[in-house]
């Protein structure tokens, strides 16, 4: 591939004339925006240790009352993007959020989609469009774009959860904003009961549900049971993994980011194919080793790491007797909608 002309090769008066008319020559920067062979990733393999960040999160609870925080969060930022950008990857935002006993995080709705993976504690809840969703460790709760949501705590100990949002993308699109609201009226019935069994959904005589997100809470007890049943019924399956989907359509539960849970059997090592999309791995329970390219992270309960796209990832269960469970968030739905999703060949790694 031949070398392109540089900006400093152009006469200053020509460059000034371009700038005065809001014009920029492409060829000096062409290789930066269209690098040959593979993308230039800003996302770096990054690891966040929960036992390290937990005291800092609890300290935030002492330093900043809820009325001054609205949402008390420590952002898990990837240094490759710059900590001020608050990005875990190009399209993924991560944050550890704290709610103390008796606190209430006021209702609002916003354009970015969000999910909550509950990390520790009991007695808290999220109300989403009037549906009160109890928070228990390992549960996944959706707060889709435009849905009113608020958080409350009726228990006795701190509750912490991992926020995952498509905020970087929505912000980049200049479409990110929030609207404040009033406390919601809680509905009597929960959609969770109606969608408890896989393969069986409510089917009214005249029409199906028109809800874009009929199921908002995915209890960990049900997800873990599904993983264990899959491992038992298909002992030769390559990966014991289940996806969080819309129970009526089978599509990804959210439009931009994809979510799944994976079980590593005792002493199992699993090599994932390198894909174009970045991914986040969060340890729900157990102990796993995550190798991302030439970096190795040891994950224990509630630890989190991030892998850039076009990078091979190997997961290994460090226990010979107990399974390890991981929650995975990735950019695959976005890449597929854009037509850029690919499982990478050797030369693109």
Query: How large is the average pLDDT for residues 326-339?
Result: 98
pLDDT at 23 over 80: yes
Determine whether domain 46-194+215-348 maps to CATH 3.90.1150.10.
no
- Asked whether residue 206 carries a pLDDT value surpassing 60, the answer given is no
Q: 198-202, 270-274, 316-320: which range is least confident on average?
A: 198-202
* Domain boundaries defined on the chain: 46-194+215-348
| Sheet with 269-272, side-by-side order of all strands | 269-272, 313-317, 288-292, 295-299
- Predicted confidence band of residue 203 (pLDDT cuts 50, 70, 90): confident
* pLDDT of the residue at 208: 57
Give the DSSP letter string of 171-240: HHTT---EEE--PPPPPSS-HHHHT-STT-----SS-----S-S--EE-HHHHHHHHHHHHHH-TT-S-E
pLDDT at 195: 76
Digit-coded pLDDT (tens) for 24-74: 999 999 999 999 988 999 999 999 999 999 999 999 999 999 999 999 999
> Among 181, 164, 76, which Cα is nearest to 117's?
164
Position 211 scores a pLDDT of 75
Q: Does position 157 have pLDDT exceeding 70, yes or no?
A: yes
User: How much is the pTM?
Assistant: 0.94
* Nearest in space to 48 (alpha carbons), one of 257, 299, 342, 316: 299
What value does the CA radius of gyration of the chain take, rounded to a whole number of Å?
Answer: 22
214-267 pLDDT tens trace: 999 999 999 999 999 999 999 999 999 999 999 989 999 999 999 999 999 999
Residues 6+ apart with CB under 8 A from 334: 91, 166, 169, 256, 257, 277
Percent of the chain as helix, strand, coil, to the nearest 5: 20, 30, 45
């Amino acid at each position: 591939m031949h070398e392109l002309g540089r900006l400093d090769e152009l006469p200053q008066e020509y460059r000034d004339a371009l700038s005065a008319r809001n014009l920029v020559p492409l060829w000096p920067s062409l290789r930066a925006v269209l690098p040959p062979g593979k993308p230039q990733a800003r996302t770096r393999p990054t690891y966040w240790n929960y036992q390290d960040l937990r005291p800092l999160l609890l300290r935030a609870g002492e330093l900043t009352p809820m009325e001054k925080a609205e949402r008390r969060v420590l952002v898990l930022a990837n240094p490759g993007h710059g900590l001020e950008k608050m990005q875990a990857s190009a399209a993924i935002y991560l944050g550890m959020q704290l709610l103390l006993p008796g606190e209430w995080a006021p209702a609002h709705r916003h354009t970015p989609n969000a999910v909550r993976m509950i990390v520790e504690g009991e007695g808290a809840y999220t109300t989403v469009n009037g549906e009160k969703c109890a928070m228990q460790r390992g549960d996944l709760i959706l707060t889709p774009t435009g849905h009113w949501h608020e958080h409350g705590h009726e228990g006795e100990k701190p509750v912490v959860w991992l926020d995952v949002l498509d905020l970087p993308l929505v912000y980049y699109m200049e479409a990110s904003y929030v609207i404040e609201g009033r406390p919601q009226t809680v509905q009597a019935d929960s959609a969770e009961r109606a969608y408890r069994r896989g393969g069986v959904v409510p089917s009214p005589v005249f029409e199906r549900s028109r809800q874009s997100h009929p199921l908002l809470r995915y209890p960990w007890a049900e997800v873990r049971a599904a993983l264990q049943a899959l491992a038992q019924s298909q002992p030769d399956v390559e990966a014991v993994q289940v996806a969080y989907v819309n129970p009526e359509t089978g599509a990804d539960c959210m439009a931009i980011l994809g979510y799944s849970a994976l079980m590593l059997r005792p002493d199992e090592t699993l090599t994932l194919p390198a894909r174009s999309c970045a991914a986040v791995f969060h340890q729900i329970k157990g102990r796993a080793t995550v190798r991302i390219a030439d970096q190795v992270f040891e994950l224990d309960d509630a630890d989190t790491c991030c892998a850039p796209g076009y990078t091979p990832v190997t997961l290994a269960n460090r226990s010979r007797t107990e399974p390890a469970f991981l929650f995975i968030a990735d950019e695959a739905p976005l890449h597929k909608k854009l037509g850029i999703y690919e499982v990478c060949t050797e030369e693109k790694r």
